[in-house]
Amino acid sequence: MTDIGFDGHVAIVTGAGHGLGRQHALALASRGARVVVNDLGGAVDGSGSDTGPAQQVADEINDQGGEAVANTDSVSSQQGGEAIVQSALDAFGRVDIVINNAGILRDKAFHNLTPELLDPVLQVHLYGAFWVTLPAWKLMREQGYGRVVNTSSAAGLFGNFGQTNYGAAKMGLVGFTRALAQEGRKRNVLANVIAPGARTRMTEDLLGSMADSLDPEKVSPVVVYLSSDQCDVTGQILSVAGGRVSRVVVAEPLGYYSADLTPEQVRDNWDTIASLDDLIVPDNATEEMAQLLNAAR
């Protein structure tokens, strides 16, 4: 097959002033994509702003012969999301790819959580993906082509101490992606989600000895593929770290059935309910229910 390229395609990458987003933007631009480099330029906790990071990455792309513009609107509001997409239209006339990568951290054990620690995390990670994708999605549907890549986390998929806010937002992005995949498939608008492990401003104090092996450059090849017209998968969750790529699934066994289920039956048949034998991996909620009901009969 031919090499993956993006001639004529326009990509929006949020949180692209540092770390993973920067690498995604550089990788896409190196293969011909025109890129909107979005970054508010705030601190890891989301406070403050600075036009420098987004502009520096855009300048880097342009200096290397690519095409990029900087954008510093916040993803956390509907107005900000619309302004980011409008930047792409003003500069390049279209939108083909959205990489929702922007994120902040405000970690705290759950019993110490406050609205100031919860709301901004949800607004940036989860609402941000909604607000940037929504105006772009409408354009993609009309043109019959688009790619969306959302950024989840192992903390969302598997849980992590002190990250109830972050984990809830990141798992929310999985549900968001799975629903987008159902809605976009017929119009060739595909949506997938990655759960990356990489050394970034947000993670360098958390990774310990693993940090040296988790270069963000090793995540971007997966994002490049998922953003391309050669990608034909949708609704998938991919764990990506240090050069390793693996599909993550939401699966369940057939479990236990009783037409007259009682609490005692749940207790007494817990081993069957919790068994991981004969797992099913439904593509959508309707299929999951149909498989379970057919098994019960």
Catalytic residue list: 166
Query: Considering only CA atoms, which of 105, 97, 98, 147 is closest in space to residue 125?
Result: 105
Neighbours of 78 (CB within 10 A): 13
Joined together, the tokens standing for residue 109 give 């054990």
Joined together, the tokens standing for residue 191 give 């949506």
C-alpha 256/C-alpha 296 separation (Å) is 8
Rg (CA), the chain: 20
Q: What's the one-letter identity of residue 258?
A: S
What are the helix (H) ranges across 158-269? 164-184, 220-226, 263-268
**Do 101 and 16 meet the contact criterion of CB atoms below 8 Å apart?**
yes
C-alpha 154/C-alpha 69 separation (Å) is 31
Q: How far apart are the first and last CA of the chain?
A: 46
Decide: helix, strand or coil at residue 104: coil
Q: Which long-range contacts (CB under 8 A, 24 or more apart) does 130-134 make?
A: 130/81, 130/176, 131/75, 131/76, 131/77, 131/78, 131/80, 131/81, 131/82, 132/12, 132/14, 132/38, 132/75, 132/81, 132/84, 132/85, 132/98, 132/100, 133/81, 133/98, 133/100, 133/180, 134/78, 134/81
